[in-house]
Amino acid sequence: MTQQEIKGIIRNVPDFPQKGIQFKDLTTAFVRPDCLNWFQTELTKAYQDKGITKVLGIESRGFIIAPTVAMALGAGFVPVRKKGKLPAEVVQQSYLKEYGTDTIEIHKDALSPDDVVMIHDDLLATGGTIEAAINLVRKFGVKKIYASFLVELDALEGRKAIGEGVEVYSLIHY
């Protein structure tokens, strides 16, 4: 598999979820074992020497690849969930979206100051969700934060929301 082959497999859905949006539908890649393997292998190679102790997956499509990368790196997996989905005590972070606010959470005991964290999501667009996830993780005082994506929409400049001190890696750029 190559980046170009994967780009040819990812479906573009015009005007979803609203007019003017060109939605990148990764489910067409997720159904293929060769694509799943490529995603996991490439991310593992990129992070194998970073000392990652926890891989966080952002709900919901971040849950697809993040646990496989965590296993390959010998790290733990931490789900970043929407408000009200986790059963124990949580730490929260709210953020603005196009149509209001949203809140993400992780368990209060999920991270420690000794952790080196990789936050993973399927796609980086405007950066609001990853910015909130980074702010959430910073509350734990971890050693280092990395951010990874399968796809990055460069024209939307989502990296600007991430700020300094967080290394960003994306497998595919549009």
Cα→Cα distances 140→16, 84, 135, 159, Å:
36, 20, 9, 22
Note whether residue 34 is domain-resident.
no
In-domain check, residue 157: yes
Give the domain range for residue 81: 49-173
Tell me the pLDDT tens digit for each residue of 2-43.
999 999 999 999 999 889 889 999 999 999 999 999 999 999
59 within domain boundaries:
yes
Let me know if residue 44 belongs to a domain.
no
Number of domains in the chain: 1
pLDDT for residue 149: 98
- Residue 166 sits in a domain of what CATH number? 3.40.50.2020
Q: pLDDT category, 100, cuts 50, 70, 90?
A: confident
Q: Is 45 left (phi over 0), alpha (psi -120 to 50) or beta?
A: alpha
Active site residue 61: yes
Q: What CA–CA distance (Å, rounded) separates 47 from 109? A: 24
**In a domain? residue 57:** yes
Helix (H) or strand (E) holding 166: strand 166-173
Q: Tell me which residue of 1, 6, 61 sits closest to 173, measured CA to CA.
A: 6
Is residue 110 helix, strand or coil? coil
Q: Could you give the CA distance from residue 133 to residue 62 in angstroms, rounded to a whole number?
A: 12
Asked if residues 1 and 34 have their Cβ atoms less than 8 Å apart, the reply is: yes
Q: Which of the four pLDDT bands, split at 50, 70 and 90, describes residue 129? A: very high
pLDDT band at 51 (very low <50, low <70, confident <90, very high): very high
Tell me how far apart the alpha carbons of residues 106 and 150 are, in angstroms, rounded to a whole number.
Answer: 22
Which is catalytic among the residues 59, 89, 98, 157? 98
Q: Which residues of 40-56 are buried (b: 16+ CB within 10 A; e: fewer)?
A: bebbbebbeeeebbbbb
**Catalytic hit among 5, 42, 59, 61:** 61
DSSP secondary structure code for residue 76 in this structure: E
β-strand partners of 90: 107
With respect to residue 82, please indicate whether it lies within any of the assigned structural domains. Answer: yes
pTM of the model: 0.95
